[in-house]
Structure formats: structure tokens, C-alpha cells
């Protein structure tokens, strides 16, 4: 039986960030991940994250941001949002914020591999490349059996194993679900016009389409939220049909579009765990919550979980209390549940607001967005929230 102070299940971006964040703490840590990242760093992939300034600051503190930007990271300094066939629009820039950019678009595998290398170098962190099979909970420990025959005991078990979290299921933590009725079609596309480091998003009556700038001026990653049947068709149709449909849906804002590589349709579901913490267990990232990818905020929300949980653990170490007891995890749970619920409601509200094409609803959207666009104070506050400032 191996004994640890902290065991993290899940070696994705959030789990690895938590491990790296606590690398200097007086803890013996294990990270359990059966599938280490293997995609070559020179390969450009279509799963990306829009990292805000708060996330960038965290990764800088961990000493990995420079490595990420050296590989591939694209800053964006403007964001344009509009509604199809309407005067509704809003344009965000860095003006008045005292910053040079709004964030960066980074491929998930670049973030993951950079963090993996960092964590793998830490003396107090052991990476176990195995799958957990059983979970047992006592008053003082969480105990795991792994598929390679190892047994592990820990004071605190952190579930960072994604939306379909095995740990969450084993701990019988209920979920609140909301099916968005949409799939997100994701891929990379080449455009005839340069993106000029601007993130763009267009709403129509039954879809939301985002173009996120990548490292080449004529290359973007798209996230196209739309009804399942439509998304599945566009994921499988021939390239010519897809390119034509995409160019029209985007109002030709970047000229003609040409898909690059594979297309993937992903089911969109909002999830919210009833508990973000129990005795011996804490949930972070998608294991605790998933939101609509409307504004690319998902990973930033998960990294904020990391910041708060790491702070809570460090305070509990300083106070010389048991880091896995629920009463010492309640502050983390209260704070992050409140923030996650707020973001779920905001995303749902925005999706509902832009759904449908009733003339009165379109007029309200047009007046609201255009008015917001003219009031710099309101725009600045909205941007500060999105950027984590």
C-alpha cells in the first residue's frame, strides 16, 4: 500500500495544473493518469482553449507559460460579437483596460504536454500510469485499487477526471444535468482574409459560431454550436459542402473558408455536481461543472478551482489541520459552487437570449447589445469579469 497526502485522479490540464501548483508544498502527491499525452508538439490540433489573463498569470507563476508560448500560443486583442441579419453587435478591445491583449488561444495538447513535463520533474510528485478500479472511504483516508495491482491511500483525493468523472460516480455525488440540445462542431479552417488577432462570434436563430485566431494569420479554430442532426451532417459531409455552409454562416467575414484536417461533433451538456467536496474528496474542473463553450470559459473556470483549492490546502497545512476533512474543505466548496452556478446561469441566459428569431426578441437584442457597445464603463466591467481581472 502506497500512502500519500494528496492523490489527483486525472492528468488533463486542470489536474496537472493543481499538481504543479502544489509542487513546493510539504506534501507527498500522486497523479493517476492512464494515458500520458503523446501527440507530437509540432502537430496542430483542433481542440483549443481561450485562456484569459488570470489563467495566463497562473501558468506564468508555475513557470510553464514561456514554454507554451515558445511552442504555439496566439494572442487576441479584440473580440467582435454580432447577430446574423440584425443590427445587434458589440466590439471589445483592450482600450481602457491597460493591457496589450485579451487572452491567448492555445491548443489543449500543448498546455497538457508542457504541464506534464513540469510535473514529471518534481521530486514530491509520483505519476502512476494506471486506471483506478475501486474506491473505499474511511474517516481518515480514501483508498484506491489500480488496474496494475497497486493500492493507494491518501488523506485527500481530488477528482480532476473530467465530465464523466469516475471518482464522482464512485463517491455517489449526484449531478444536475441540462441538455443544451446542441452539439459543438470543432475543427480548424483556413480563411482568405487574415484574422488580425480578433476572436469573432456570430449568433443566428439556432446556432452560435465562433472563430478563434491561431498562430497563422489565415488559420482559425472554430466552435460551431448547433442542433445535433445538423452538426452530425456537417461533420460528415464532403469538404466542399462544409466550406460553403461555413462561409455563408459566418457572413463571409473572413472570406472563403477551407476546412483543415478532421471535423468533430461533441455533445453539449451543462453539469453541476451537488457537492464540490466531501470528506476526503474534492472535485475540480469538468468533474465539478461543465458549461456551454459560448465564451471559451470552461478551462478558465477549472483553473480558478485549482487556485482556490490550492490556497485552501496551503492554509490548512499552515494551520496544521487535516487537509482531507470536509470541514476544512467547505470554504473551497462554497466559493467555487457559487462562481460555477453564476457562470452556468450567465451562459444559459445568453443562449436563451439569442435563441429564436422573433422580431420583438431580435429588436431587444439589437438595442441591448448596441447600447452596451456604446457604454464604455459597462463594456469594461464585462471584460474584467471575462478576463478574470
Q: What is the pTM of this model?
A: 0.92
pLDDT at 346: 76
Crossing angle of the two packed helices 376-387 and 359-374, in degrees rounded to 10: 90
Q: Which of 20-34, 79-93, 94-108, 342-356 has the lowest mean pLDDT?
A: 342-356
pLDDT, residue 376, reads 53
pLDDT in tens, 312-332: 999 999 999 999 999 999 999
Q: Classify residue 319 by its DSSP letter.
A: T
Q: What average pLDDT does range 32-56 have in this prediction?
A: 94
CA-based Rg of the chain, rounded to a whole angstrom?
21
Distance of CA 69 to the CA centre of its chain: 18
| Cα gap 83→146, rounded to integer Å | 50
Looking at residue 364, what is its pLDDT? 53
Q: What domains are defined for the chain?
A: 2-37+108-177+270-349 (3.50.50.60), 68-106+180-268+356-387 (3.30.9.10)
Q: Over the stretch 70-90, which tens digit does the pLDDT of each residue have?
A: 999 999 999 998 887 666 677
Residue bearing cell 469594461: 380
Distance CA 343, CA 118 (A): 30
Q: Are strands 48-51 and 219-227 parallel, antiparallel or unpaired?
A: unpaired
Amino acid at each position: 500500500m502506497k500512502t500519500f497526502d494528496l492523490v489527483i485522479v486525472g492528468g488533463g490540464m486542470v489536474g496537472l495544473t493543481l499538481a504543479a501548483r502544489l509542487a513546493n508544498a510539504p506534501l507527498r502527491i500522486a497523479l493517476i493518469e492512464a494515458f500520458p499525452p503523446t501527440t507530437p508538439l509540432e502537430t496542430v490540433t483542433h481542440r483549443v482553449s481561450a485562456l484569459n489573463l488570470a489563467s495566463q498569470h497562473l501558468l506564468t507563476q508555475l513557470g510553464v507559460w514561456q514554454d507554451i508560448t515558445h511552442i504555439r500560443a496566439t494572442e487576441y486583442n479584440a473580440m467582435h460579437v454580432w447577430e446574423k441579419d440584425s443590427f445587434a453587435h458589440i466590439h471589445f478591445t483592450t482600450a481602457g483596460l491597460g493591457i496589450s491583449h485579451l487572452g491567448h488561444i492555445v491548443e489543449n495538447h500543448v498546455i497538457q504536454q508542457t504541464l506534464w513535463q513540469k510535473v514529471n520533474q518534481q521530486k514530491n510528485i509520483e505519476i502512476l500510469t494506471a486506471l483506478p478500479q475501486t474506491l473505499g472511504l474511511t474517516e481518515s483516508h480514501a483508498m484506491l485499487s489500480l488496474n496494475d495491482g497497486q493500492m493507494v491511500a491518501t488523506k485527500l483525493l481530488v477528482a480532476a477526471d473530467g465530465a464523466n468523472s469516475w471518482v464522482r460516480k464512485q463517491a455517489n455525488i449526484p449531478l444536475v444535468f441540462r441538455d443544451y440540445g446542441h452539439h459543438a462542431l470543432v475543427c480548424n479552417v483556413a480563411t482568405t482574409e487574415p484574422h488580425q488577432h480578433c476572436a469573432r462570434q456570430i449568433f443566428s436563430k439556432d446556432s452560435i459560431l465562433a472563430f478563434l485566431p491561431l498562430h497563422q494569420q489565415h488559420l482559425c479554430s472554430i466552435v460551431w454550436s448547433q442542433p445535433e442532426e445538423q452538426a452530425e451532417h456537417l461533420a460528415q459531409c464532403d469538404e466542399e459542402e462544409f466550406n460553403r455552409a461555413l462561409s455563408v454562416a459566418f457572413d463571409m467575414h473572413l472570406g472563403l473558408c477551407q476546412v483543415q484536417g478532421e471535423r468533430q461533433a461533441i455533445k453539449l451538456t451543462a453539469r453541476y455536481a451537488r457537492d464540490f467536496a466531501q470528506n476526503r474528496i474534492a472535485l475540480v474542473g469538468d468533474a465539478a461543472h461543465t458549461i456551454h463553450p459560448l465564451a471559451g470559459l470552461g478551462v478558465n473556470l477549472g483553473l480558478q478551482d485549482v487556485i482556490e483549492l490550492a490556497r485552501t490546502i496551503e492554509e490548512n497545512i499552515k494551520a496544521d489541520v487535516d487537509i482531507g476533512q470536509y470541514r476544512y474543505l467547505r470554504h473551497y466548496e462554497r466559493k467555487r459552487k457559487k462562481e460555477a452556478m453564476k457562470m452556468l446561469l450567465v451562459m444559459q441566459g445568453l443562449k436563451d437570449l439569442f435563441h429564436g428569431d422573433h422580431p420583438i426578441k431580435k429588436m431587444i437584442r439589437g438595442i441591448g447589445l448596441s447600447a452596451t457597445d456604446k457604454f464604455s464603463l459597462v463594456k469594461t466591467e464585462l471584460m474584467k469579469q471575462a478576463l478574470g481581472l
